[in-house]
Amino acid sequence: MADFLNSLVGSVDPYLMQILVNVGIAIVLALGLNVITGLTGQLSLGHAAFMSIGAFTSAMVTIKTGLPFAANLAVTGVVTAIVAAMIGFPILRLTGDYLAICTLGFAEIVKVFFLNFEPTNKALGLTVPAAKTSIPMPIYVWVVAILAIVLVTFVQNSRFGRALKAIREDEIAADAMGINTAKYKIKAFALGSFMAGVGGGLYAHFLSYINPSDFGFLKSVDILAMVVLGGLGSVPGAVIGSSVLASAPEFLRFMSQYRMLVYGALLVFLMVFRPNGLLGGVSVTDLFLRAIGKKPASKG
């Protein structure tokens, strides 16, 4: 099986494969933020910080223990989720701009920490050894991306997901209905950060080198743009948004120095004419019902 998978990956153009892997990692990251911002309505500008915690944790676990990659990612995700829960307990009492500023401040703290942390080689960055797995990394990335889609779809349609949506629509009303809003927000923050940590672990082992500067404010903005472009709270939207924004700069590379200008103009154009995102309010269930010729249930 491993030989077949390796030959399958080897048959694809390396440049195209790199784009596909970047898209897969972006899907995991965007789905994680979609739980926090899309489902729960908590604006976070620090998602890249949890990605960096995951990246450096995963790299150090590989260096120090040599755990199988699946166990490595599980440990990485749990560590990141614990950090998120500890941070979320005080800051999730805030809302709106105040919460966004706090998450942004936390992201800068994490960046400065890794820039000065000796075990991860400070600002020089860290060379990451190969993951301990017989499965090619591109296949691994997409398996994790598919599992992330299944997980967030399940969460969205569960009692937990309905509680998160109630908090997003009206936190005071949700609290009055008996929903423990603080507990649910912390759980959502931890789950979204768990996925960011796993995405960071995949990123570290695919690139084989990470630097704290890779996880700055603009990285958080990129991930947020993926969620907003696709449609807040929509799993298919997060997948489409991350796929478009992760691949567009590469497909526009032929335009040389103008590619980022065109990229920005396309993003503005889409947000003007599709303010709710490409698939705002559309769920995986809706897409399935449409595929079999049935009309999705009305949302209101």
DSSP state of 46: -
CA pair distance 250, 253, nearest whole angstrom: 5
Domain-wise residue ranges, the chain: 2-216
H/E stretch holding 127 reads strand 126-127
User: For residue 291, what are the contacts with CB-CB under 8 A and spacing of at least 6?
Assistant: none
Question: How do the pLDDT tens digits run along the chain, 300 residues long?
Answer: 667 777 777 777 888 889 999 999 999 999 999 999 989 999 999 999 999 999 999 999 999 998 999 999 999 999 999 999 999 999 888 888 889 899 999 999 999 999 999 999 988 989 999 888 888 898 999 999 999 999 999 999 999 999 999 999 988 999 999 999 999 999 999 999 999 999 999 999 999 999 999 999 889 988 998 898 888 888 988 999 899 888 887 777 766 666 667 767 777 877 777 767 766 656 555 555 555 566 655 554
Which stretches of the chain are DSSP H helices? 2-10, 14-33, 47-64, 69-91, 96-115, 137-157, 159-169, 171-176, 181-207, 217-230, 235-251, 259-273, 284-291
In sequence order, what are the beta bridge partners of 209? 127
Torsion-angle region of 149 (φ positive above 0: left; ψ -120 to 50: alpha; else: beta): alpha
Structure confidence at residue 215 (pLDDT)? 93
